[in-house]
Amino acid sequence: METVTENGIPRARRIGASVRIGAVLAAASLANYLAWLGWDQERDVEPDGSLSGPYQPWQVAGLVIVLGILAAVAGRRGHPKIGTLSIAGVMWLAWSIDAATSDDSGLWAVGAVMLLPAVFLGVGLVAFLAVPRETARQGIDRVE
């Protein structure tokens, strides 16, 4: 059986590289979530007696900045699809599991549904905008 190649690289080797890249980005996304949000489970009591949290604005900002950096690196390296799926997918899954196991109100599912498109669109937009123009042109040339 003949090995399919693209630019002289066998298909099996390209798939293996894609799996490794996806695994590294997924691990980085999980570490990012755990570093910024995963450790904080306490709700804050406001002066009026209401509860807020558990996250502070600086935690969410840090998480989003690192997600953007990971997405930009994936796009810049020419892997916007793998980057979007692994970075956003793991981030969403980590948040959903964390919320489901610590929420007494049952509203974690609403948050998960709202977070899903937001995280995929945000990470995907950054990843695809970071693709070098030369790489993007080569992709267009192959399609035509």
**Is 40 domain-assigned?**
no
For residues 89-96, average pLDDT: 97
- Residue 17 CA to residue 23 CA, distance in Å, equals 10
| pLDDT above 90 coverage of the chain, percent | 61
- Residue 48 CA to residue 63 CA, distance in Å, equals 29
**Is 19 domain-assigned?**
no
Domain that holds residue 96: 58-144
pLDDT digits (tens, 9 = 90+) for 103-133: 878 889 999 999 999 999 999 999 999 999 8
**Is 22 domain-assigned?**
no
**Is 13 domain-assigned?**
no
The domain tally of the chain equals: 1
